[in-house]
């Protein structure tokens, strides 16, 4: 009888003891926090790289606005706009067209638009980069292609 009382008393003392409870709680919470934070960090890095790809496409369009049409120089402006490995893909293209409220309708270069103005010359610049996530996700695979496009009117 005496042993069983001592055994019950020891168990009751262990249940009431608070030493080590923080370590146990942390060991339960740490994996949950990792499962939440790693994908959030991954998404943040992907969004940041997408912004860099967009900036590279815009840098190519700005180069064309300032310096005119030169396909090779525009591609160089795209690839050197950021420290990220960005490709000028698809290659820059030059078209003529007439702008309306929401788009540019194709027209022959030098022609007159419906509003009486001359058709404008436009450059479309594309940029692409590959993003590799920290962890492989079943829906994404091993990598994702980030792409952006910018269009600018040149003189």
What is d(CA 129, CA 85) in angstroms, rounded to the nearest whole number?
6
Q: What is the C-alpha to C-alpha distance for residues 129 and 147, in angstroms, rounded to an integer?
A: 7
**Predicted confidence (pLDDT) per residue in 10-48, tens digit:** 777 767 766 777 888 888 899 999 889 988 999 999 999
| Residues in contact with 75: Cβ distance below 8 Å, sequence separation at least 6, in sequence order | 60, 88, 91, 92
d(CA 70, CA 76) in angstroms, rounded, equals 10
Is the N-terminal amide bond of 109 cis, ω within 30° of 0? no
What pLDDT does residue 76 have?
95
Predicted pLDDT at 104: 87
Q: What integer is the mean pLDDT of 107-126? A: 91
Full residue range of the structural domain in which residue 12 is found: 2-154
Contact 126, 89 (CB under 8 A): yes
Q: Enumerate helices (H) and strands (E) in the chain, giving the number of each.
A: 3, 4
Asked if residue 3 has pLDDT above 60, the reply is yes
Burial 31-46 (b: 16+ CB within 10 A, else e): eeeeeeeeeeebeeeb
Count of domains observed in the chain: 1
45-102 pLDDT, tens digit each: 999 999 999 999 999 999 999 999 999 999 999 999 999 999 999 999 999 999 888 8
CB 132, CB 143: distance < 8 Å: yes
């Amino acid at each position: 009888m005496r042993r069983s009382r001592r055994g019950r008393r020891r168990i009751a003392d262990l249940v009431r003891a608070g030493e080590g409870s923080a370590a146990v709680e942390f060991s339960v919470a740490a994996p949950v926090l990792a499962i939440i934070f790693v994908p959030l960090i991954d998404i943040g890095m992907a969004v940041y790289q997408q912004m860099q790809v967009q900036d590279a496409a815009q840098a190519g369009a700005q180069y064309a606005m300032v310096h005119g049409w030169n396909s090779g120089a525009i591609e160089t402006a795209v690839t050197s706009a950021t420290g990220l490995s960005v490709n000028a893909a698809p290659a820059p293209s030059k078209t003529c067209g007439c702008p309306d409220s929401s788009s540019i309708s194709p027209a022959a270069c030098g022609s007159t638009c419906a509003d009486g103005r001359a058709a404008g010359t436009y450059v479309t610049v594309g940029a692409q980069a590959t993003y590799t996530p920290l962890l492989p996700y079943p829906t994404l695979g091993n990598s994702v292609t980030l792409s952006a496009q910018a269009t600018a009117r040149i003189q």
